[in-house]
Amino acid sequence: MQSLGARTLDWLEDAIVMVDQTRLPGSFETIRISNVPDLVAAIRRLSVRGAPAIGVAGGFGVALAARRCGTGNTAFDDAVQTIRMARPTAVNLAKMVDRVAAAAVRGPDAALEEALAVRDEEIIASELMGIRGADLVSELSFGRSAYRILTICNTGGLASVERGTALAVVQTLHERAALEETLVLETRPLLQGARLTTWELQRMGAPNRLVVDGAGPYLISIGIVDAVLAGADRIAANGDTANKIGTFSLALAAQHAGVPFIVVAPESTIDMATASGDDIEIEYRDGQEVISFGGAMTTPNNTEAINPAFDLTPSGLITAIVTDQRVVRLDQGESLSSV
């Protein structure tokens, strides 16, 4: 097992090393990836997940391809396309693959240099999102000295490289002694909230309680949530946001209760080439994830399932989008193109 320090994904000794998120919280294990097929498999089985993290992983994958295949040939181009298409919804993957592939025309060393730059930018972005988001929560939830946050899925360092997106805001509030607690949705069917977010919150010593997905909207409605923080896998030009399935219902509940609903994501997750949520491809995963758990069937034989991994939250339900560079107050008529 190779040490990653505070990072959950990195380039070490000519290979990609990452925390295997499928093993958490039962065991903390890292995996070493030295070829493109293994990387694509890791992305698809969710050993690495979260839009920023798979963007970094994709960039490193292009660097791997350049070192193994050379550049400017069919083998390299095919490898790049395979990485790019590993998961369709999160825009970071395609963006960072294309960015590092463009640098690869100057050779394998240039590809690796660009991939490392992608990693470093995401680390800086997480720090800045935490600061901007914590400042906004304090501004919107006036009158309290400590805040009650509800979040879905996993948006911490596991979903990026360090600190995270929405969970970076939680971490910053905790460091400021301004966090009362985080309510964590378990996030069916793969329990990223239960398995991963609670694990990260415990490691940072932040108070938290776990709730079932269906309880989230109710808890918002009865006034025990000061703000809802969500990440994003792709943000369209009009502000429509694709995120983990279940996010849309939280946004509806937040609007009903007058609670701020804040999306936290790096600028790299904004896709100005996608006009609206109608143009975002939603990934549907194997129904086996729904009808079984831990290898054991939880339904009668021959049960069929539909398993969208993401949903779309219209911009009209979003109070603000917080990135590493800016805060866009959609509720005040600001837009991604005007701020």
Would you list the DSSP string of 238-262? TS-EEEETTHHHHHHHHHHHT--EE
Cite the active site residues: 233
Q: What is the pLDDT of residue 2?
A: 53
Domains 9-121 and 126-332 share a fold: no
Question: If one looks up domain 9-121 in CATH, what number appears?
Answer: 1.20.120.420
Tens digit of pLDDT per residue, the chain (339 long)?
Answer: 455 667 999 999 899 999 999 999 999 999 999 999 999 999 999 999 999 999 999 999 999 999 999 888 999 999 999 999 999 888 899 999 999 999 999 999 999 999 999 999 999 999 999 999 999 999 998 778 999 999 999 999 999 999 999 999 999 999 999 999 999 999 999 999 999 999 999 999 999 999 999 999 999 999 999 999 999 999 999 999 999 999 999 999 999 999 999 999 999 999 999 999 999 999 999 999 999 988 899 999 999 999 999 999 999 999 999 999 999 999 999 999 975
Q: What is the pLDDT of residue 336?
A: 97
Question: If one looks up domain 126-332 in CATH, what number appears?
Answer: 3.40.50.10470
Scan for tokens 């539909």, then name that residue: 306
By three-state DSSP, how is residue 73 classified? Answer: coil
Identify the DSSP state of 329: -
Q: What is the pLDDT of residue 1?
A: 45
Q: What is the pTM of this model?
A: 0.94
Number of Cβ within a 10 Å radius of residue 158: 25
Give domain limits for the chain. 9-121, 126-332
Cα–Cα distance measured from residue 43 to residue 211, given in angstroms and rounded to the nearest whole number: 27
| Contact in structure between 36 and 65 (CB atoms under 8 Å) | yes
Q: What is the pLDDT of residue 245?
A: 98
Cα–Cα distance measured from residue 116 to residue 14, given in angstroms and rounded to the nearest whole number: 12
